[in-house]
Structure 1
Amino acid sequence: MLGLGLSEIVPYVVYGLAGPVIIASAVNRSAIGLLFLVPLIPLYVILDKVLKSELPLANNVIDFTIIAMLLGICIQKRDDEVPALGPSPLLKPLAIFAGYSFISLLIGSASFDGLTGEINLLRLAHWKNYMIMPLLYLITYYALRERAWQNKLFTFLFGAFLVADIRFQQSFKWVKHTRYQGSKSRVSGLANLGPNEMGAFHAIHMLFVLGLFIIDKNVKRRIAYVFFMIGSTYCALYSYSRGAYVAILLTAIFIAFVKERRLLIVIVAFLITWKAILPSSVVDRIENTIVEDGARTDVVEVGGMQLETAKRTEIWEKALGYFYENPITGKGYNTYQYLTGWDTHNVYIKFMAEEGVIGLSLYIWLYVLALRSGWKLYKNGDEEIIKAFGFGFVCAVIASIVSNFFGDRWTYLQLGGIYWVLWALVDQHNARIAASVTDVVAVPAAPEMDHFPNSRIAS
């Protein structure tokens, strides 16, 4: 790690910190758990080593931290905390979303003899891990309200992304990447996930920071934004993920039309000259070719596996077939992969096949709510940095919407955890601003004073 030989040591350090953090999160501040867990998401490789180690209870570190933070929210009472802002606006939508996904899990378990008890346990574990992200939203909304603690979280996150970028660069420098050579040219920075997922991860967060950069004019913060964007763009570029490239392009077009029209000139110039500007290996990837031993071969690569175009079509046709059989509820949560051996490589089709119209509608509903939250903060923010935060989140939501057309960028903690934390802070600031406006309106106006209180008008 960072060339210092720390790869084997850091997981033990993280494991050693977990115990004190869990205790402190329960009895002192729940926010401590967030400062511990969230910055490990860009460094999920480290966290994954902890979870897979044979140390006592190591595989439950995330679960215990989440439980401790929830317990802390329930029992802690601090005089120095900001006033309560009322319940989260996502309480009911999240309850509906989680409730239906659990019902869908049961539907899948009850419908197929081919889904054995072991598979159903794996599906239950997947659902539990999936629900960690909405829980992170709720914990962040209720536990991370002081600005100082929010600043600490973003400082730690910036450092974590910097380390992740350096780690990726150190791994990638050993790969021959003058021309694109398929899987030989690709590395991933996220545990258990491939280069496409890693590209989407960096694209979404780079575009969030780009939104901050456009609105926030603070010089020191802008310098930090630039460093962040350079690192994340490098990782997204050399992930060779075409889905990440499309997400960046479409979100940049959105920014150009909504906020920065001059960006259109840059986009048009790029679209004309991209073959001359981008590295040859990236051009090969976009043009869908592999160059090996001087030979160029047309390929289609999906989810890290080289497939013919017909195979992708077959995957989608199979998924849509399941949808047509059960259009309302689908086949059941997390069933498609176990029934076919494939992933749908498109989350919208995945929701259709597994959770039907109901599940797809709930998924799109969450995106609508997220866009509305970010846009509301951008328009109503009481500080420039707060407006920037809202606009940046809108950019992240759009990037997520686009990315999920190319694969599952939604159900994994290492991909979506930070997204839910950002959303919680957006909703929190919206609630704070609404509360402050209400307080101003509620203060009664001072009675109008008689300019001459002692005077009398003679009859």
Structure 2
Amino acid sequence: MCIVSLTGRPLLGLYYMIPFLPYRTMRDHFLNYPLGGNMLTILVFAVIIGALLKGKSIPKSSLYTIWLVFGVYLYLSMWFGTALGNAPPPLWLGDVNFETWKDYMLIPLVFTAAGMVVEDRKAIRTVVLITAVSLLAIDRSCLLESMSRTWGSFDENKRDTGPLAYGSNQTAAFLAQFAMFFWGFVQFVQRKKLRLIFYGLVALTVFADLYTFSRGSYAALLVSIVVLGFLKDRKLIVIAAVFLFTWQAIVPTAVRERVEMTQNSNGKLEISAQERVNLWEAAEESILSSPVLGIGFATYQIGNHVDGLKDTHNWYVKVMVETGIIGMIIVLAMLQQVLAVAYRLFKRAEDPLYRGLGLGLFVGMCSCIVANFFGDRWTYLEITGILWILVAAAIRALQLAETEPATESAISEAVAANPFLAYR
């Protein structure tokens, strides 16, 4: 596929890449081969170079500029962390901070590759369909693992790392955001059979998410459903309200136990929840000590923290600790721009495919934003890689939606001025 991408068909390379982005355990089979660990990096560069050889370019969007500024700022931030004595110089792949930055920067590269090669409606539709197939594969893997265990009661030791290979909470964040993406997308699917298929995919994904036992993903789903209700289907708001009062009688026993164990009978937080509160309290002191620039990107994992944990269990807190107010401003600008692109596409487009993509992306991003309050669900390529391909598709769709009506208008005016043009 690298050769195919370099010799004139980079779009096929992107299609091939999509299922491998979240499915880490499937991708790990390449580790047995030379450079197998760099399979995605090599393929992304092949797609970008192949696109450049064909004269392709990214569409106009401030998101590409924001990513460029953010990537440069994060690298300089690592050197600031080195100056403070918090991390080694970020020079080699053996340096944990540089490796973290390199892995993170693969996300904007995927975004760039998709922006260059997704150029028309057919490509956008194909990206959505491949995303659906990829999600179905993840659902299957999650359910086979979950259903192989007995869940008469909740047991932390039975939770699996999942096909994303980073843990059940990360898998849950992925499932929640793409359940919501397709829940929003299906609102504009017109063919009855396809609607049933996509609703089935949503139901299967929500069911798989239930058995990840991630309370953060449950919150992300509920908030996103309410948002979808406000934007498209007000009945969902009523359903969500009823669910909040009846959920204990509806959800499986193990799920109910997982949610209720947030507090014990004395009203105190259970161990994992209390650990997060302790982490945030310690992080507050770090933020106050260096509020503008932080302590340096990718340095938190190197230091000593509560119970030896290496993450703040809240991405926004992590951004503030490591990159300060400047980093947070860039992050908020990025999130705002993604939501703006999705909302504009949902509201302005006439094509049902584009409107579904816009609405699905908006509620999927809402799920992602909520999930990141419970841990870092943003810097993992496995969780957000496909999401950024969909953002690139939405940017292209918005461009197509805004130019096509203008073209039709211009033709109508020309025909009115010269009726003979109608026959050309």
- TM norm structure 2: 0.90
Deviations 1:336-389 (A, max 9, x none): 121124210001100000000011111111111011101100111121221111
Q: Percent identity?
A: 27
Q: Is the 8 A contact 1:332 1:355 kept in 2?
A: yes
Q: 1:298: how far off?
A: 8.9
Q: 1:214: how far off?
A: 2.4
Confirm whether residue 176 of structure 1 aligns to residue 173 of structure 2.
no
Q: What is the 5 A alignment of 1:181-196?
A: 181=155, 183-196=156-169
Q: Is the 8 A contact 2:86 2:299 kept in 1?
A: no
User: What's the RMSD between the two structures over aligned residues?
Assistant: 2.6
Q: 2:41 aligns with which of 63, 84, 92?
A: 63
Q: Which has the higher helix share?
A: 2
Structure 2 CA distance for partners of 1:447 and 1:130, relative to 1, 3 Å: same
Instruction: Find the counterpart in structure 2 of residue 8 from structure 1.
Output: none
Q: Distance in 2 between matches of 1:164 and 1:113?
A: 38
Instruction: Find the counterpart in structure 2 of residue 335 from structure 1.
Output: 299
Q: Distance in 2 between matches of 1:299 and 1:192?
A: 32
Single out whichever of 32-41 and 188-197 deviates more from structure 2. Answer: 188-197
Q: Aligned AA for 2:106?
A: I
Q: Is the 8 A contact 2:184 2:363 kept in 1?
A: yes
Q: Distance in 2 between matches of 1:141 and 1:324?
A: 39
Q: 2:3 aligns with which of 11, 23, 36?
A: 23
Q: 1:234 aligns with which of 202, 207, 225?
A: 207
Name the SS of the counterpart of 1:404 in structure 2: helix
- TM norm structure 1: 0.83
Q: 1:208: how far off?
A: 0.6
Confirm whether residue 43 of structure 1 aligns to residue 17 of structure 2.
no
Confirm whether residue 426 of structure 1 aligns to residue 391 of structure 2.
no
Q: What is the 5 A alignment of 1:57-456?
A: 57-76=35-54, 86-112=59-85, 115=88, 121-181=95-155, 183-288=156-261, 306-307=271-272, 309=274, 311-340=275-304, 341-342=308-309, 343-440=311-408, 445=414
Single out whichever of 203-212 and 25-34 deviates more from structure 2. Answer: 25-34
Q: 1:87: how far off?
A: 3.1
Name the SS of the counterpart of 1:328 in structure 2: coil
Which fold has the larger relative contact order, with Cα–Cα distance below 8 Å and residues 6 or more apart in sequence? 2
Q: Distance in 1 between matches of 2:195 and 2:114?
A: 25
- Unaligned runs of 5+ residues in structure 1 are 1-20, 79-83, 450-459
Q: Distance in 1 between matches of 2:21 and 2:197?
A: 20
Aligned residue pairs, count = 413
Q: Aligned AA for 1:110?
A: A
Q: Is the 8 A contact 2:78 2:297 kept in 1?
A: yes
Q: Aligned AA for 1:125?
A: E
Q: Distance in 2 between matches of 1:85 and 1:70?
A: 10
Q: 1:132: how far off?
A: 1.2
Q: Distance in 1 between matches of 2:296 and 2:191?
A: 49
Deviations 1:98-152 (A, max 9, x none): 2212211222233216647789722111111111111111211110223333433
Structure label with greater radius of gyration: 1
Structure 2 CA distance for partners of 1:219 and 1:85, relative to 1, 3 Å: farther
Q: Is the 8 A contact 1:105 1:123 kept in 2?
A: yes
